[in-house]
Amino acid sequence: MKRSNRATDAAPPYEIDATGNGPLGMPPAKFLRDYWQKRPLLIRNAFPGFVSPVSPEDLAGLACEEQALARIARYDRANDAWTMRSGPFAEDEFPGMPHQDWTLLVQDVDKWDPEIRALLDDFDFLPRWRMDDIMISFAAPGGSVGAHIDQYDVFLLQGLGHRRWMIDVAPNPDETYLEGVPLRLLKHFAPTHDWVLNPGDMLYLPPGVPHHGVAEDACMTISVGLRAPSSAELLGDFVDTLVCEADESVRYADPDLAPAKDGYEIDAAAMSRAVEALNKLRMNDPERLGDWFGRFISLYRSAGVPLNPDPPRSRIEIEWDLRQGAVFERHPWTRTAWRRSDRKGQAVLYFAGQAHRLPLADARGLAAAATLDGETYEALSAPARDLVHEWIAQGYYGLRQDFGDDAEAGDEDGDEA
């Protein structure tokens, strides 16, 4: 008779202490097996002694920038009413904000602040092209965005103060939403877990888990979001690509047509021919399919096109700068990824919606190259160097440190606080 191992059979815990074991408190493979898109996890001391690189004042200043994606959610207790305003905000309005029940949310802070962007390195066990953004919220005591459900993975790192998180892990939660409010809030919320997070604690939430975060005191939360495209988004872009690349000579055809019994009937044979015509457009070639997905995912959401590149400079001047120690930084809104090609030693680099066939080492290196120095440049093949100069001319790489003023920002979304 087989003996049950209770330690093995027990469900993974919802709360652990990560002290001394990295931000996950366990090997990444174990986290991905037991928790990723399966169950929430509160990780105490994920970042022991954590001090946020961004202060509330920094966040408020960023929320005043024209290109920043900022919102303020406010709850009126007396009237049980919510309001939501979008930035940019005036600097002089923050000192006059009430002492409770409001939240400032700023998205894409990783695109503006290199120290915040460096936090992504702690999540390098996940595909970088799956990363959406790092959003930071500041909340006055009682501040919240209400109980809601998100359809993406998020790591909620407590950066300052304390926030109470309540979640519901019961099966089949009630997804009825309140009407007449500017936020998509749950009408009924019955939490099964209730935790207060301290600085350095982190809560992982997979898609579809009802949750509600409320500030215990003035606090900041750093949200690392990983949004996957919906099936509708994939299908829409895929169909658009098929239409653009379709051969007009491929049409509905009926060479086997039989005399019609009723000239107005769409019979089963006609429907079969329609399906056959559609099937001829399918991307049966893995290379074509891979190129479509690579172009799509490297433009997905906030991968805006940079504006106002540096004044044109000759290749000789640029290469001289690199040899003298100059470093070119990639525009932080630029998404990259790479895929192995069917040709040995070759790969395809996807760069802001572009597809470039390159030697494997070049594709892998350039996808990860947030900066380009002389050594990195010299190691590239001639075709890869040509691409670098194209990207510099287009504004994807520049000598300047701050790309924020040149960014064509993405759309607003995401409700984490």
308: left (phi over 0), alpha (psi -120 to 50) or beta: left
Beta-carbon-side half-sphere exposure of residue 61 (alpha carbons within 13 Å): 7
pLDDT of res. 370: 93
Work out the burial of residue 63: count CB atoms within 10 Å of its CB; fewer than 13 is exposed, 13-18 middle, 19 or more buried.
buried
> H helices of 263-348, where?
268-279, 286-297, 315-323
In whole angstroms, what is the distance from residue 306 CA to residue 333 CA? 8
Mean pLDDT of the 380-385 span: 97
Mean pLDDT of the 229-245 span: 92
Mean pLDDT of the 263-291 span: 90
pLDDT of res. 131: 93
- Whether the CA torsion 12, 18, 20, 26 is positive or negative: it is positive
> H helices of 64-145, where?
109-112, 114-117
In whole angstroms, what is the distance from residue 388 CA to residue 378 CA? 11
Band the pLDDT of 313: cuts 50, 70, 90.
confident
Residue 411 above 70 pLDDT?
Answer: no
Q: What single-letter amino acid sits at 217?
A: D
% pLDDT > 90, the chain: 81
pLDDT of res. 417: 57
- Whether the CA torsion 405, 90, 213, 178 is positive or negative: it is negative
User: What are the domain boundaries of the chain?
Assistant: 8-226, 235-284
Band the pLDDT of 10: cuts 50, 70, 90.
confident
In whole angstroms, what is the distance from residue 353 CA to residue 313 CA? 25
pLDDT of res. 219: 98
R_g (Cα) of the chain, nearest Å: 25
3-state SS assignment for residue 321: helix
Structure tokens at 253: 């055809």
pLDDT of res. 286: 86
Average pLDDT along the chain: 91
Query: What are the pLDDT digits (tens) for 241-258?
Result: 998 888 888 899 999 999
Please enumerate in sequence order all residues whose Cβ is within 8 A of that of 61, keeping only pairs 6 or more positions apart, or say none: 91
In whole angstroms, what is the distance from residue 206 CA to residue 154 CA? 7
**Which has the minimum average pLDDT: 185-194, 277-286, 363-372?**
277-286
Structure tokens at 381: 């093949």
CATH of domain 8-226: 2.60.120.650
pLDDT of res. 247: 86
Band the pLDDT of 279: cuts 50, 70, 90.
confident
Mean pLDDT of the 65-76 span: 95
Cα separations in angstroms, 80 against 101, 107, 190? 11, 27, 19
Q: Which residue has the higher pLDDT, 284 or 262?
A: 262
In whole angstroms, what is the distance from residue 169 CA to residue 40 CA? 8
% pLDDT > 70, the chain: 91
Query: What are the pLDDT digits (tens) for 102-160?
Result: 999 999 999 999 999 999 999 999 999 999 999 999 999 999 999 999 999 999 999 99
What is the separation, in whole angstroms, between the first and last Cα of the chain?
Answer: 51
In whole angstroms, what is the distance from residue 382 CA to residue 388 CA? 10
> H helices of 119-246, where?
231-245
pLDDT of res. 33: 98
pLDDT of res. 360: 97
Q: What single-letter amino acid sits at 391?
A: W
Contact 366, 359 (CB under 8 A): no
DSSP run (H or E) holding 58: helix 56-63
pLDDT of res. 98: 95
Mean pLDDT of the 331-358 span: 93
Query: What are the pLDDT digits (tens) for 337-347?
Result: 999 998 899 99
Band the pLDDT of 416: cuts 50, 70, 90.
low
**Which has the minimum average pLDDT: 5-19, 49-63, 83-97, 284-298?**
5-19
Beta-bridge partner residues of 356:
349
**Which has the minimum average pLDDT: 3-12, 128-137, 292-301, 380-389?**
3-12
Residue for token pair 């996890």: 41
Contact 196, 216 (CB under 8 A): yes
Mean pLDDT of the 257-264 span: 93
pLDDT of res. 402: 44
**Which has the minimum average pLDDT: 190-194, 304-308, 369-373?**
304-308
Band the pLDDT of 309: cuts 50, 70, 90.
low
Band the pLDDT of 9: cuts 50, 70, 90.
low
Residue 407 above 50 pLDDT?
Answer: no
Structure tokens at 40: 């929430």
Mean pLDDT of the 381-401 span: 88
pLDDT of res. 404: 45
**Which has the minimum average pLDDT: 41-45, 189-193, 258-262, 347-351?**
258-262
Phi, psi for residue 338 in degrees, rounded to 5 = -145, 160
Structure tokens at 123: 């999540």
Phi, psi for residue 164 in degrees, rounded to 5 = -90, 125
Mean pLDDT of the 320-341 span: 93
Going across the sheet that includes 69-76, the strands are 15-17, 41-44, 202-205, 153-160, 219-226, 133-139, 102-107, 69-76, 81-86
